[in-house]
Structure 1
Amino acid sequence: MDTLLGIDMGTGSTKGVLVDSSGTVLATETISHGMDLPRPGWAEVDAEAVWWREVCAISTALMARQPAGATLAGVCVSGVGPCLVLCDADLRPLRPAILYGIDTRAHAEITSLTAELGESSILERAGTLLSSQAVGPKIEWVRNHEPQVFDAAAGWYGSNSYIAAKLTGEYVMDHHTASQCDPLYATRDFTWNKDWAERICGHLPLPSLVWPSDVVGQVSVEAARETGLPAGVPVAAGTVDAYSEAFSVGVRRPGDQMLMYGSTMFLVQVIDEYHSDPTLWTTTGVDPHTLALAAGTSTAGTMINWLQSLTGKPSFEELTAEALAVPAGSEGLLMLPYLAGERTPVFDPNARGVLAGLTLRHGRGHLFRAAYEGIAFGIRQILERFDDAHEASRTVAVGGGLKSPVWAQAISDVTGRSQLVPEQAIGASYGDALLAGIGVGLLPADTDWATIEREITPDPRNRERYEELFATWAQLYPATREQVHRLAAADSYSAG
């Protein structure tokens, strides 16, 4: 029997799965972790102490559960991204990894690089405007604020390419991760924006570009000692975790969409030709020479957890019952879910949450339903932008938030779209195992392990009501932006 190992380093945990060549799960392992928030706007992880050590621990545990007589055919690791890991010549991280869009420290560098390179040129060549999601400004921030670290660095990595280097010694980056390292990558041309990359990276060499399923090397003898993996096992490049999860549920053809319900919401849609939109992220896909659009909110499940804590910590069952008892539209209560600013489509770190229409008759159930509906209205805005590039053919829903029938149903009702829920819900690590199998030639390139378990369909009784409310909801942000920006500025001043 041939087996495949996939590992994903997420925001809150590292998960591993051991499968056979049919996709049957043989064993799983999970290790929880957090992130460091040393200063306002900073979000970091110790790449060696957390990511590498957890990969080692999970690999060792899963190898101990390998069936007798089985042979490990391949390994693949994905991770949060885009991130920045700066290492010396011995692959030792010189500072904690700077995380993706939740780390907003490089706001000045975003402004200065946009002015230097030109907003329209960045959108045309990179496909995405600079924001806190971009890696280029993070490199520029280290160069400006930690020059000793920048000068000592011999290479720069994403989360998964750092692990690939630890396993094999190879200096590579997958095309998808590179396409999120704006403005360093030319998404239309599937290559580095060499002049801009050299300007920002300075003496740092650019990693060799590979596709996520490409085998980049073999597990070294040293890595084998630390991970428990057999030396010589092929290692596939991997990619950013959300895209590996999309791959795991068969989101691979133009028009395929993935909605990921989690602490935030993340959306991916495969497209058939290059399309740039200033309110979205344009990236490469997971399959070679494919393209995708992506979007992400700043809050979702985190806002629901906040409301639970704020309103007496009701159980999930109690919360669900109260929200279900409230009619669609929350009896005139609307919420802008911008409690941590917002990423797509407004890209406004100073946006704030707004409750509109609040009266004495509204209770806790109304608040929760309005929160779910506010998230759903934001998702509708994004999906309509996706449609401008390629009309959706199907929408696959994944993530822990699907446990809430209110949330999932609100999104189908507000958007008018059915959602397909797959049977296998392991996530990105399952996609990693599939990438490894394709990369080593054990599986055909078009292999799809996903099986749809159920479908969430729109309730036509709610359509007219949500159409009216969406029109009003869409006016709330532009109508209150000036006021909440003043409040955000005042809050920053008082915090300082």
Structure 2
Amino acid sequence: MSIWIGIDLGTQSVRAMAVGESGEVLGVAGRPLTSRRDGPRHEQDPEEWWRALAAATREALRDVPSSLVAGVAVAATSGTILLTDVSGRPLTPALMYDDRRAGAERVNEVGAPVWERLGYRRMQPNWALPKLLWLLPDAPAGARLAHQNDFVNRRLVGHEVPTDLSNALKTGVDLIEERWPAEVLELVPAEILPEVVRPGARLGVVCAAAAEETGIPAGTPVIAGMTDGCAAQLGAGATRAGNWNSVLGTTLVLKGVTKELLHDPLGVVYSHRAPDGSWLPGGASSTGAGALTRDLPGRDLDMLSEQAATRFSGHTPITYPLVSRGERFPFDAPDAETFTLGDPADDVDRYAAILLGAAFIERLCLDYLDLLGAAVDGEVILTGGATRSAFWNQLRADVLGRPVTLRENAEPALGMAVLAGGDPALMIRTRAIVEPSHIDLRDPYLRFVAELERRGWLSDKAARHARERTAR
């Protein structure tokens, strides 16, 4: 039996997982990470990443036969960067994925044709390339860019490594040509940038020094990883065209697979490149379960879920459950605000209204992706904290009017174990398939769509397409 190691460098912790050929978790461990936050500033100490990773992998591998370890891959937060010297030592703190001290005006002026061709149209201030330009004026000679997982991959193999296309997306890599475009090189000296490879490429093997610290056997192949969102998608098994992974936690994220690159006129959907050369489009809504924490603080959500299941009907009020002001997907509306259609009678109604609104946004996301030309007729795999609610799972199947799949485990660390060499057909296990019930929610869905259109947030074209799909 072979064993693969997946590592997830998150915001709050590092998680390491040793997974066998049939998906059994043979060892798992995590270590916390600390952040320094101050307004738009969000930094971490890169050396802490390495210390936490080493401690987590040593614990996860404590009872794992070293002779069976066949590979390791690392996932990291998207857009997190730092500068290092030529030997890989950090010259700056790490600027985390949501650090917003940089401005994107210059990169969008110079790189607009490339960003348009790649389908996302513009960069945001928290993307990696604006942050790199913000760091460069104070950079010493010989400085090098490192994404979060580049830094630890170099420690693992003991020499300089290329970055992967997934983590380099927000640094402006040309995902079509699989190289740095001339527009990026106009902004950044070429010697600062690493070479690029596809996720899944072999970077080297674990060196003796790293083996001593991490417990990962020396000589273990180190495989180029992906961002944490893409890693979670791999862990969920959404790897075929038409399949979609819907991650519903504090907010909603949808990620899928297409054969061709999608171009979104709104720029709310952007695509990563898959290891096999296909495309991984996705978008992140500002709606989700975070609205429950805000609107029903301290309430027993399990109890509310049980009560809502006994009295839910198509006449339940509908809440558009924005967690914060403004929407990002399936439309771009910076001024969008939460609203409720109907009058909730009590907390049970308020709870059900939030769940129903989130399910409607999920359906609208798929309608919008269909409008862009993506295949959306494959498997819909639900992951995230919301899947703990059986009522919500059923409601989402009813709103979509199709079965939804629940996995036993869909962590980014599992996705990296698969990318490191595991067989996804064996390692990714299904917990349940939820079939839609008899309830018909098409009319309340269309009422919700009409309200978004009336408020000027959802375009006439997108609303019309949602109505057409609903009528089929």
With normalisation by structure 2, the TM-score equals: 0.86
For the pair 1:450 / 2:435, whether they are aligned, the reply is no
1:202 aligns with one of 189, 194, 202: 189
C-alpha change, 1:156 and 1:344, in structure 2 (3 Å) is: farther
SS at match of 1:267: strand
- Name the CA distance, whole Å, in 2 between partners of 1:452 and 1:18: 19
> For residues 217-274 of structure 1, what are the alpha-carbon distances to aligned partners after superposition, in whole Å with 9 as ceiling and x for unaligned?
1112222232122222211111112212221232222111111122322211110112
Contact 1:394 1:419 in 2 (8 A): yes
Give the match for residue 292 of structure 1: 280
C-alpha change, 1:365 and 1:225, in structure 2 (3 Å) is: same
Contact 1:88 1:153 in 2 (8 A): yes
- Name the CA distance, whole Å, in 2 between partners of 1:4 and 1:84: 26
For the pair 1:162 / 2:157, whether they are aligned, the reply is no
- Name the CA distance, whole Å, in 2 between partners of 1:17 and 1:83: 22
- Name the CA distance, whole Å, in 1 between partners of 2:152 and 2:230: 17
SS at match of 1:189: coil
- Name the CA distance, whole Å, in 1 between partners of 2:42 and 2:440: 40
Give the match for residue 494 of structure 1: none
1:137 aligns with one of 118, 130, 134: 130
For the pair 1:371 / 2:354, whether they are aligned, the reply is yes
C-alpha change, 1:229 and 1:15, in structure 2 (3 Å) is: same
- How far 1:403 sits from its partner (Å)? 0.5
Give the match for residue 54 of structure 1: 52
Residue correspondence of structure 1 range 373-388 to structure 2 within 5 A: 373-387=356-370, 388=372
Tell me the C-alpha RMSD between the 2 structures.
Answer: 2.9
Q: Which letter does structure 1 place at the counterpart of 2:361?
A: G
Contact 1:9 1:78 in 2 (8 A): yes
Give the match for residue 114 of structure 1: 108
Q: 5+ residue gaps in structure 1? A: 482-496
Give the match for residue 17 of structure 1: 17
- How far 1:295 sits from its partner (Å)? 0.7
Give the match for residue 470 of structure 2: none
- Name the CA distance, whole Å, in 2 between partners of 1:45 and 1:303: 28
- How far 1:319 sits from its partner (Å)? 3.2
Q: 5+ residue gaps in structure 2? A: 460-472
- Name the CA distance, whole Å, in 1 between partners of 2:111 and 2:270: 18
- Name the CA distance, whole Å, in 1 between partners of 2:147 and 2:177: 21
Q: Which letter does structure 2 place at the counterpart of 1:418?
A: P
- Name the CA distance, whole Å, in 2 between partners of 1:215 and 1:202: 26
- How far 1:433 sits from its partner (Å)? 1.3
Give the match for residue 41 of structure 2: 42
- How far 1:127 sits from its partner (Å)? 4.3
C-alpha change, 1:62 and 1:323, in structure 2 (3 Å) is: same
- How far 1:347 sits from its partner (Å)? 4.2
> For residues 24-47 of structure 1, what are the alpha-carbon distances to aligned partners after superposition, in whole Å with 9 as ceiling and x for unaligned?
2211112344543221x3333333
C-alpha change, 1:315 and 1:207, in structure 2 (3 Å) is: same
- Name the CA distance, whole Å, in 2 between partners of 1:322 and 1:42: 43
For the pair 1:418 / 2:417, whether they are aligned, the reply is no
- Identity within the alignment, %: 24
1:334 aligns with one of 319, 342, 346: 319
Give the match for residue 93 of structure 2: 96
- Name the CA distance, whole Å, in 2 between partners of 1:64 and 1:304: 39
- How far 1:460 sits from its partner (Å)? 4.2
Q: Which letter does structure 1 place at the counterpart of 2:289?
A: G
Residue correspondence of structure 1 range 43-82 to structure 2 within 5 A: 43-49=42-48, 51-67=49-65, 70-82=67-79
- How far 1:352 sits from its partner (Å)? 5.0
Give the match for residue 490 of structure 1: none
Q: Which letter does structure 2 place at the counterpart of 1:436?
A: A
Give the match for residue 177 of structure 1: 167
> For residues 390-438 of structure 1, what are the alpha-carbon distances to aligned partners after superposition, in whole Å with 9 as ceiling and x for unaligned?
222111111222012343334333333421112x315111121122125
C-alpha change, 1:17 and 1:476, in structure 2 (3 Å) is: farther
Contact 1:45 1:98 in 2 (8 A): yes
2:117 aligns with one of 75, 99, 124: 124
For the pair 1:269 / 2:266, whether they are aligned, the reply is no
SS at match of 1:389: coil
C-alpha change, 1:385 and 1:126, in structure 2 (3 Å) is: closer
Q: Which letter does structure 1 place at the counterpart of 2:26?
A: L
- Which stretch has the larger CA shift, 276-285 or 57-66? 276-285
SS at match of 1:414: helix
For the pair 1:86 / 2:83, whether they are aligned, the reply is yes
SS at match of 2:405: strand
Q: Which letter does structure 2 place at the counterpart of 1:81?
A: S
Contact 2:156 2:206 in 1 (8 A): yes
C-alpha change, 1:339 and 1:215, in structure 2 (3 Å) is: same
Contact 2:83 2:145 in 1 (8 A): yes
With normalisation by structure 1, the TM-score equals: 0.82
- How far 1:153 sits from its partner (Å)? 6.6
- How far 1:201 sits from its partner (Å)? 2.4
C-alpha change, 1:191 and 1:462, in structure 2 (3 Å) is: same
C-alpha change, 1:345 and 1:390, in structure 2 (3 Å) is: closer
> For residues 290-316 of structure 1, what are the alpha-carbon distances to aligned partners after superposition, in whole Å with 9 as ceiling and x for unaligned?
21211112352333223343xxx0223
Give the match for residue 303 of structure 1: 291
- Structure 1 residue ranges (4+ consecutive) displaced by more than 4 angstroms after TM superposition: 125-128
- How far 1:333 sits from its partner (Å)? 4.2
- How far 1:12 sits from its partner (Å)? 3.4
- Name the CA distance, whole Å, in 2 between partners of 1:477 and 1:410: 26
Contact 2:287 2:320 in 1 (8 A): no
Give the match for residue 27 of structure 1: 27
Contact 1:279 1:344 in 2 (8 A): no
> For residues 82-128 of structure 1, what are the alpha-carbon distances to aligned partners after superposition, in whole Å with 9 as ceiling and x for unaligned?
3222222332333332233x44433xx2234323443x652114644
- Name the CA distance, whole Å, in 2 between partners of 1:162 and 1:61: 21
For the pair 1:229 / 2:216, whether they are aligned, the reply is yes
SS at match of 1:471: helix
Q: Which letter does structure 2 place at the counterpart of 1:239?
A: M
